[in-house]
Amino acid sequence: MATVDAGSSGSRRVVHTETRSPIEVILARVVYYVFGVIEVLIAARFVLRLLGANRDAGFVAFIYSFTAIFMVPFEAVFKTQTAAGAAFEGSALLALAVYALIAWGIVTLVRAVSPRRSSETVERVEKSEDTTSQQ
* pLDDT tens track for 57-83: 999 999 999 999 999 999 889 988 888
Which has more confidence, 6 or 104?
A: 104
Q: Where are the chain's structural domains? A: 1-21+119-135, 22-118
Burial class (CB in 10 A: 0-12, 13-18, 19+), 108: exposed
Q: What pLDDT shows up at residue 7? A: 53
Q: Is this model's pTM higher than 0.85 or not?
A: no
The tens digit of pLDDT for each residue in 93-117 reads 999 999 999 999 999 999 888 876 6
Residue 118 binned pLDDT confidence (cut-offs 50, 70, 90): low
Distance CA 135, CA 130 (A): 10
